[in-house]
Amino acid sequence: MFKKILIANRGEIAVRIIRACRELGIRTVAVYSECDAHSLHVRYADEHICVGPAEDALSYRNIPNVLSAAEITGVDAIHPGYGFLAENAHFAEVCESIGLAFIGPTSEHIALLGDKSKARELMMREGIPVLPGSDGELHSEQECLAVAQRLGFPVIVKASAGGGGRGMRVVTREDDLPRAFQAAQKEAESSFGHPGVYLERFFQDPRHVEIQIIADHHGHTVYFPERDCSIQRRYQKLLEESPSPVVSERLREELGRTAVKVAKSVKYRNAGTVEFLLDQDGRFYFMEMNTRIQVEHPVTEMVTGIDLVKEQIRVAAGLPLSVRQREIRLNGHAIECRINAECPERFTPHPGMVTAFHLPGGPGIRVDSALDGAGAVHPYYDSLIAKLIGHGRTREEAVLRVRRALDELVIEGIKTTIPLHRTILDHADFRKGQVSTRFLERLLSATVKS
């Protein structure tokens, strides 16, 4: 087992990893930017070291500085969390080359699965159902138009190296396709350093479901009950739950077996998430595989009782998984609300000073956050400030617990998405589990009209 791990991240995920390390008896090193010097993850870690100024490109994304911190502190592994360097194949490759364990998949897996168009091609060869679309990247407007005409509108243009909703454009009319193609290319180049895009048929009212898998070095790969991530805005998830209200036990097993097949097709190792679109007839299609721990991993932990971060660390250390497939049981229902420092009406970032902070409690409630009282929410990083997770014996109980906890959660001094989450949980369609990826769009449209 590792003796010391550097956490190449900040915020709630850094705190989450430190907690897992403490339970495993592993010392931790926190890296931080100048504006994060007094952050919770810095205080919780056994050691800490500054890696640069506030801007993430000069600190948390600065590979030479992060690796220098690892060398100075003598760690034997690095956990990247999510975001920043978590899906940077070059960073993982450098770690491998200098003998540092990268707690995640190999650099080869990150590069292969990070190219969404290549991943599509691979899955098609493996017989995995994929959304109808282009065969690989598109290099011209004419090529894009020909594929769109074959598929039929609406279509969606996607960045090959995409993630987080960037580099994506939905097109409903042929006349709008050239502009969408150019815009997606430009955003892909700006966000990911690669302008490649591909095309898929756009489904109007699908559900977004995903399967968490973990694979070790001993031939074992397991899957966990699905997470439903259909509540999202501009492809950014806002609320997740497990299990999905519409997935049967039979479909769950089929999704799980397919996710394991995806992982085994590339000899994947460590934690990953296979994402699917589920149409109204119950057919599912592979979208992509994320090669990291997900923001929403706590809902899986709540319904299975399995610590996914600790499993990540064990696998990276060469140990076998602590569980087998037959031991993974679905227990109750869990819902996670992502509490962001944003204006809930316009979704614009709202950093500033938190003047009052109070966490909810009671049965079945968990909050993952790096806030511990009054302090600053900085404008340089992702707007996520807390994840409120509720667990119940039934979906109804989980909804009621999360709704009650939202009323107890106090964050003053900045605007947050707490009011929006209350509105979502109060909506009759959500209560009945009748949602799609367009649920929030319609909800906000109805709110504006009223």
**CA–CA separation, 259 and 325 (whole Å):** 13
Q: What is the DSSP letter of 108?
A: H
R_g (Cα) of the chain, nearest Å: 21
Number of H helices, E strands in the chain: 15, 21
**CA–CA separation, 221 and 263 (whole Å):** 8
Angle between helices 141-151 and 177-192 in degrees, nearest 10: 120
**CA–CA separation, 21 and 373 (whole Å):** 24
Contact call for residues 121 and 137 (beta carbons, < 8 A): no
- Examine residue 132 and say whether the peptide bond preceding it is cis (omega within 30 degrees of 0): no
**CA–CA separation, 9 and 39 (whole Å):** 12
5 to each of 22, 217, 331, how far by Cα in Å?
11, 20, 32
Establish whether 292 is a catalytic residue.
yes
Closest CA to 224 of 129, 119, 130, 321: 321
**CA–CA separation, 67 and 56 (whole Å):** 15
Extract the tokens encoding 27: 């010392």
Contact call for residues 58 and 47 (beta carbons, < 8 A): no
Query: What is the sign of the dihedral through the CA atoms of 295, 272, 86 and 126?
Result: negative
- Active-site residue among 10, 269, 292, 314? 292
- Examine residue 154 and say whether the peptide bond preceding it is cis (omega within 30 degrees of 0): yes
In the block, residue with structure tokens 């319904």: 303
Beta bridge partners of 56: none
**CA–CA separation, 409 and 411 (whole Å):** 7
Contact call for residues 226 and 244 (beta carbons, < 8 A): yes
Cα 188–Cα 190–Cα 194 angle in degrees, nearest 5: 50
Virtual torsion, Cα 257, 263, 264, 270, nearest 10 deg: -120
Active site residues: 292
